[in-house]
Structure 1
Amino acid sequence: MTNKARWEWEINNKTNFWGNGLKELWLYRYLLAGLVRRHFLLNYQQTVLGPFWVLLQPVITLIIYVVVFNKLVGISTETIPPVAFYASGIVLWNFFSESFTGTATTFRDNAQIFSKVYFPRIIMPLSVISTYFMRFSLQLLLFLLILTYYHFFTTFEFRITFWILALPISVLFTGAIGLGMGLFFSVITAKYRDFINMIAVGVRLLMFITPVIYPMIAIPEKARWIIQLNPLTPLFELFRLSLLNQGYVTPLQVAYSVTFSVLILLGSVLLFNKKGDKLIDII
């Protein structure tokens, strides 16, 4: 009798929507950690300031927003200091936009690696969003330092309320939307490179229908429904409510954003797993 060989995994021409499961991802956990370290180092290698760019970039953006939208345009931030208001929007928006654009070109950026080495393709976008989550964590710390300054040296009072429990919800599902949209468009950009330019333009336009530079109360009531159709809107308002105690959001709106993020992430993961190996021949 001959014993049938047992393999830990088998590479063949069949693909499925669910990939090879969480067990295989766990086997590649060290690769994931190595890729996160690689992405972080490559972003700041051979730069004068190095990792300080993580904090310098939002600071420069913050200064521009305060000068343009608060001083020149005169958009009211109500009782929240303009610096704190714009910083909250910048921090969360950077996390979403970088997660989206960073994963949307997964196949184009890693064509040489995918064609030579086997590993679960989903590892690469997971490493990208993990890197940007690290950046977000550092920028969030900077934002908390800004709040601390306003609390002790101005009349603005920073109070921790039970809404702080909603902070992980806003961050988690914002990242889920960014990752989900990125995975979906990574399949499209592998075939049609024109979409790469469209994504860059689309992200800029999306920011203007997301409450990053203005509070919801500043939008005329008749036009407010347009902003509320954006699933990111409740998450941004919830983020501000959790840290600044001011935000205009209802449980139904949060449920809408959570449902959208779960559906877009689940659908995109299934599509990515199904098409991932087949796209190698195209790119």
Structure 2
Amino acid sequence: MTVAVTAAGGNLGRLVVAALLDAGERPVAIVRDPRKVADLAARGADVRQASYDDPAALDAALVGVDRVLLISGNEFGRRIAQHTNVIRAAERAGVELLAYTSIPRADSNPMVLAAEHRGTEEVLATASVPTVLLRNSWYWENYGGAATHAAQTGVLHGAMGAGRVSGAARADYAEAAARVLTTAGHEGRIYELGGDEALTGADLAAAVGENVRYENLAQDDYAAVLRAAGLDEPVAAALADADARIGEGFLEVNTGDLTKLLGRPATPFRLSAPLSQI
């Protein structure tokens, strides 16, 4: 069985390929720039070059592939079309399983960030190959910059109110994806994936440091804080919207799916990484 991972040069993709290599597989790492994964090639990954915008290159990259992990892209506004290119290439290749990294409750999640996931899932629902949805909640690493700033200032800002986020380390989601790609019985499944902890903003602040407090802001005010931290307007707006939707419970996941796939507890926030690397 040959397993391929798209966007293998990204943060999640690299971890999935590494997990597959650790499991004794020789995965296909599909990347735009093979130089970014020279270390994975040295470990035995079969590196193939293709982008989400190049159907012909995707066809070549999926030759002989049995299972594919489609990692969602980061070009907002273009992702449904790009993901569809991968889905169609997987159909032409006749793969036996196509997995996609989505977002919790994508079919009803009102987050701005969820719209293109929902659109992609709609395309997958009509695909001619078996599919599985990996609806990942937040990575603890998403809080890296904010946690570092909060450790220095004593304040962690957000707009999540009393809402809770069921996060896990990025490596946890990568390991779960590798497990799905290398074991049987996942066709047609929808996995709502989140960590064992569901933390409030106050919980996150306390985990950063005993003298750190959480300050809840209105969504627009939090977007302004993010812009002041250097984020572009669309990104700041989307992240502030996501935080507000966390306040409504849309990233609180209590299915236990992640732990079941891992066969162990998910990584807690305080142990996810050194603060500078979160």
Q: TM class, shorter-chain normalised? A: under 0.3
Greater strand percent: which structure? 2
Q: Which protein has greater RCO, CA pairs closer than 8 Å, 6+ apart?
A: 1
Q: Greater Rg, structure 1 or structure 2?
A: 1
TM-score (norm 2): 0.26
